[in-house]
Amino acid sequence: MRIAYLIAAHKDAKQLERLINSLYVEDKTWFYVHIDKKSNIDDFSYLKNLPKTKILTQRINVMWGGFSQCKVQLQLFKECINDNIEFERIFMLSGLDYPLWSDKKIIDYLIINPDKELIMAYNLSKNGNAQQLQKVTRYHVRDLFKKQNYVTRVLIYLARKTSFLFPKKSYITNKDEKTDVFMGSSWFCLTYNCMKYVYDTITSTTRFINYFKYSFTPDEMMIHTIVFNSPYAEKAVYHSGDYPGLKNLTLLHYIEYADKIATYCEKDFDKLIDSGKMFCRKIETGTSEELIRMIDEHRNKI
């Protein structure tokens, strides 16, 4: 079993180091890391000395909710493919994730489920409410702004609120047939062949990039749309019915959403373990030290 962990990070080099070390298994795990171009690369450069760890040199200025997040996904896929290693599994993680399962439990699960695509989505085109549908039917321009501060947040807010003034986007089409849009979490695990299929599909045609380029949170839709309109869909996890909230579409991670994603500490240990999820998000240096100790102790027992 060879596993590639593709990690998108923007802060907290110490936590990123702990994440990599927690998942490293000799001759079984490789790590590809993208550091947001806005971040100081010097804070992370020492991580390239960790075993089987590659820090991408081509860095992207990431704006949350923008297509730049999809560019990161594609860049990580490309680096993984170009290394010509016979991976069986590809994980997409955040630098603020932490495993709740032991390495052995993760690998054993993947061996038992060799063809299962560990990605979950629902059909936005057929079951989306007005709030969710506007993510793709309206034009969003977050990547026009290169920094994240009070002024740009106001401009992004105004652009979003006035997007109804512009024409709605048409459907994705393939030979005049409409392609349903699917939505889920941007953290998942695919078989290598599925990941390669997604990458080849995106890079061989312009229709997906053209459609999602001005969408909101396209990193939660573009890959899902391709997977769930492909032969791999029958091996993925489909949520039937209406939008259940992103927490309930996040198959592998325990995540809590309010105004922002919660940061966990020791008081959250029981609910994280009881969730049965493979990972939790998010963990931060300073806040989560005791929790990490408790999780590591638990992982050593399973």
Residue of 215 and 141 predicted with greater confidence: 215
**Structural domains of the chain, ranges and CATH numbers in brackets:** 3-299 (3.90.550)
Res 246: pLDDT: 87
Average pLDDT, whole number, for the chain?
90
Contacts of 191 (CB under 8 A, 6+ apart): 88, 89, 90, 114, 115, 117, 232, 235
pTM of the model: 0.91
Model confidence band, residue 137 (pLDDT cutoffs 50, 70, 90) = confident
Q: Each residue of 226-275: pLDDT tens digit?
A: 999 999 999 999 999 889 988 999 999 999 987 778 899 999 999 999 99
Model confidence band, residue 130 (pLDDT cutoffs 50, 70, 90) = confident
Q: Each residue of 62-97: pLDDT tens digit?
A: 988 899 999 999 999 999 999 999 999 999 999 999
Helix-helix angle 192-204:68-82, to 10 degrees = 120
Using the predicted structure, report yes or no on whether residue 173 has a pLDDT greater than 80. Answer: no
Model confidence band, residue 138 (pLDDT cutoffs 50, 70, 90) = confident
Using the predicted structure, report yes or no on whether residue 156 has a pLDDT greater than 70. Answer: no
Using the predicted structure, report yes or no on whether residue 183 has a pLDDT greater than 70. Answer: yes
Question: Minimum mean pLDDT among 8-12, 37-41, 76-80, 158-162: which range?
Answer: 158-162
Q: What residue has token string 């593709």?
A: 6
- As given in the structure block, the two tokens for residue 95 are 């630098």
Alpha helices for the chain (secondary structure H) = 13-23, 68-82, 103-112, 124-127, 130-137, 150-161, 192-204, 207-212, 222-227, 269-274, 289-299
* 244 contacts 122 by C-beta, under 8 angstroms: yes
- Give the whole-angstrom CA distance, residue 54 versus residue 31: 6
Find the radius of gyration of the CA atoms of the chain.
19
Give first-to-last CA distance, the chain, whole Å: 19
Res 178: pLDDT: 83
